[in-house]
């Protein structure tokens, strides 16, 4: 049972939170540096190391990035200095190569890079120099849209093919051969797809839209938050395979028309960032899923709508808190284009470390990567 306090957005239970996705909550402004340790990584720019800087993984010693388009390049930079270390490109159709779009997972314990190749429903494993080690297929009739490291021996996977079926969405598999270690069942009344299908009778066409920020597996310290859109409960999962309720959303999603989902993004020691997302769309604009940014403040035991600003700017510069968390230590990252930093520096809008960095940039340099870590 959740017991409400004197204010509608306040709660008194320390262990379980309830969010009413239909309510309006008070607004709250936050400064990122007040609750996070902020670090900037200047990616070295050379003829060989030119990248759009889409972060895939950050370890203690390295940062791995790729480009938005599928050129096959995987760049490995030094985490501290930003110096380019290696560039891997195994794009192709051979048994040791990846084809089409992919994501990269770094296993720091074993110093291995896992490439989740969506096109072939296959995971390929390399060392950090790009040498092929092994590969294995996704589970039969599955499509692993999300793969992260679970422990030394296993990967945590989300099966996207489950969005319209009752099969288990969350699967833990062996890092060695992809065999199933454990399938996790999230209880729900009925399966509800996050995809919105809009019919255009005049053109005899059906269009499919999806939400922008659905992260099914979210690292949180040494645990993970599991988000099953069909369920009214978000769960916390630990290394010992214990699953406990974490957040309850109301009203019950099977009773809603249209449905309003509750999606999580970033979790810090004090704040839980999330958004309520309404499953509606517009055929003329081909846009949909209007959302409201929500935050749960553990200290105040209250829910708010939020905005977050970066204090290294002289003006109020918004920070998106909707990016996918990198790890339990690093809860968000942001790509900062060099030309924009140069423009802001020339306008006198930067402060501190960011101002110092921008003063040495060329507008054609690689992006600067901002990372935000749990405050020590």
User: Does residue 3 sit within a domain?
Assistant: no
Name residue, tokens 């945590």.
Answer: 156
Beta 27-31 vs 54-58: how paired, if at all? unpaired
What span, in angstroms and rounded, lies between the C-alpha atoms of 233 and 241?
17
User: Does residue 1 sit within a domain?
Assistant: no
User: Does residue 98 sit within a domain?
Assistant: yes
- Token duo for residue 342: 């140069």
What span, in angstroms and rounded, lies between the C-alpha atoms of 315 and 196?
38
Output the pLDDT for position 3.
Answer: 30
**CATH code of the domain covering residue 262:** 2.120.10
What span, in angstroms and rounded, lies between the C-alpha atoms of 148 and 23?
34
Measured in whole angstroms, the distance separating CA 195 from the mean position of its chain's CA atoms is 18
Output the pLDDT for position 1.
Answer: 27
Number of compact structural domains in the chain: 1
User: Does residue 11 sit within a domain?
Assistant: no
What span, in angstroms and rounded, lies between the C-alpha atoms of 355 and 312?
8
What span, in angstroms and rounded, lies between the C-alpha atoms of 274 and 321?
8
Angle, alpha carbons 120-131-101 (nearest 5°): 30
User: Does residue 6 sit within a domain?
Assistant: no
- Domain range spanning residue 308? 17-374
- Residue range 169-210, pLDDT digits in tens: 899 999 999 999 999 999 999 999 898 888 888 888 888 888
- Token duo for residue 30: 């936050």
**Smallest Cα–Cα separation from 61: which of 82, 40, 45, 47?**
82
User: Does residue 298 sit within a domain?
Assistant: yes
- Token duo for residue 171: 């699967």
Output the pLDDT for position 46.
Answer: 97
- Residue range 74-105, pLDDT digits in tens: 999 999 999 999 999 999 999 999 988 899 99
Q: How many residues does the chain have?
A: 376
User: Does residue 7 sit within a domain?
Assistant: no
User: Does residue 139 sit within a domain?
Assistant: yes
Pick out the chain residues at pLDDT < 70.
1-15, 163-166
Q: Is the CB of residue 178 less than 8 Å from the CB of residue 137? A: yes
Output the pLDDT for position 274.
Answer: 97
């Amino acid at each position: 049972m959740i017991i409400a306090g004197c204010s509608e957005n306040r709660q008194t239970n320390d262990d379980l939170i309830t969010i009413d996705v239909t309510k309006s909550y008070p607004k709250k402004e936050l400064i990122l540096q007040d609750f996070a340790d902020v670090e900037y990584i200047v990616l070295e720019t050379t003829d060989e190391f030119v990248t759009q800087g889409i972060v895939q993984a950050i370890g203690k010693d390295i940062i791995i990035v790729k480009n938005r388009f599928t050129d096959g390049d995987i760049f490995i930079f030094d985490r501290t200095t930003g110096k380019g270390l290696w560039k891997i490109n195994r794009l192709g159709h051979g048994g040791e190569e990846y084809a089409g779009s992919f994501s990269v997972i770094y296993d720091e314990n074993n110093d291995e890079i896992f490439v989740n190749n969506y096109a072939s429903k296959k995971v390929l494993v390399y060392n950090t120099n790009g040498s092929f080690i092994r590969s294995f297929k996704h589970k039969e009739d599955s499509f692993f849209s999300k793969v992260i490291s679970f422990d030394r021996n296993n990967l945590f996977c989300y099966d996207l093919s489950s969005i319209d079926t009752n099969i288990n969405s969350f699967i833990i598999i062996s890092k060695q051969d992809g065999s199933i270690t454990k399938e996790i069942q999230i209880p729900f009344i009925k399966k509800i797809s996050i995809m919105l299908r809009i019919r255009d009778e005049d053109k005899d066409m059906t269009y499919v839209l999806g939400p922008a920020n659905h992260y099914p597996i979210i690292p949180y310290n040494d645990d993970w938050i599991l988000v099953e859109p069909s369920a009214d409960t978000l769960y916390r999962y630990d290394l010992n395979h214990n699953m406990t309720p974490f957040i309850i959303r109301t009203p019950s999603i099977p009773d809603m028309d249209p449905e309003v989902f509750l999606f999580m993004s970033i979790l810090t020691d004090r704040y839980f960032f999330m958004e309520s997302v309404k499953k509606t769309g517009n055929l003329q604009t081909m846009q949909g899923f209007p959302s409201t940014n929500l935050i749960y403040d553990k200290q105040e035991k209250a829910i708010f709508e939020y905005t977050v600003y970066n204090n290294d700017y002289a003006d109020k510069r918004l920070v998106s808190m909707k990016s996918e968390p990198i790890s339990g230590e690093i809860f968000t990252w942001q790509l900062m284009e060099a030309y924009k930093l140069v423009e802001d520096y020339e306008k006198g809008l930067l402060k501190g470390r960011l101002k110092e960095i921008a003063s040495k940039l060329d507008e054609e340099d690689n992006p600067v990567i901002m990372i935000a870590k749990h405050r020590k």
